Amino acid sequence: MENARLMLDETLANDVVPSERIYTAFTEGYARTGDVEKAFGVFQRAIDVVAYGALLKACCNSGAMHGAAEVFQQITDAGLKHNQITYCTMLDGWAKQTICKSMVFILIQSATRPLSRLVS
């Protein structure tokens, strides 16, 4: 990730404006390593549920479930629809933390929606 970050810095130094997808890719990269601080650092402005999902995954991978719950709510507040990936990411994070009460809540919430609405 550090080599990629150096390339991004060089791009910015040459007055090239990266797309939102570039920032999402960095957020996803830091999510894979569980580095929530850096994931939030490159997370600029989410334009879709994929960008938010990357940040959600970073929180869950690092065990920061309070932060994950905030990101999960931000998705709703932004007027975006949760999808199968956001629900599964939260379930996986809670399972790793053995927070079963929260898992039951999300399962009930997802069960009350048709599958077609969960996968958007």
Q: Which CATH superfamily is domain 2-118 in?
A: Tetratricopeptide repeat domain (1.25.40.10)
Does residue 39 contact residue 30 with C-beta atoms inside 8 Å?
A: yes
Does residue 98 contact residue 116 with C-beta atoms inside 8 Å?
A: no
Q: Which residue from 98, 97, 20, 24 is spatially nearest to 64, judged by alpha carbons?
A: 97
pTM of the model: 0.64
Q: Which two three-digit tokens encode residue 51?
A: 């960008």
Task: For residue 118, give Cα distances in angstroms to 48, 62, 86, 102.
Answer: 15, 25, 9, 18
For residue range 82-114, list pLDDT tens digits in order: 898 999 998 888 888 876 666 666 666 665 655
**Where do the domains of the chain lie?**
2-118
For residue range 43-86, list pLDDT tens digits in order: 665 577 888 888 888 888 888 888 898 888 888 888 888 898 99
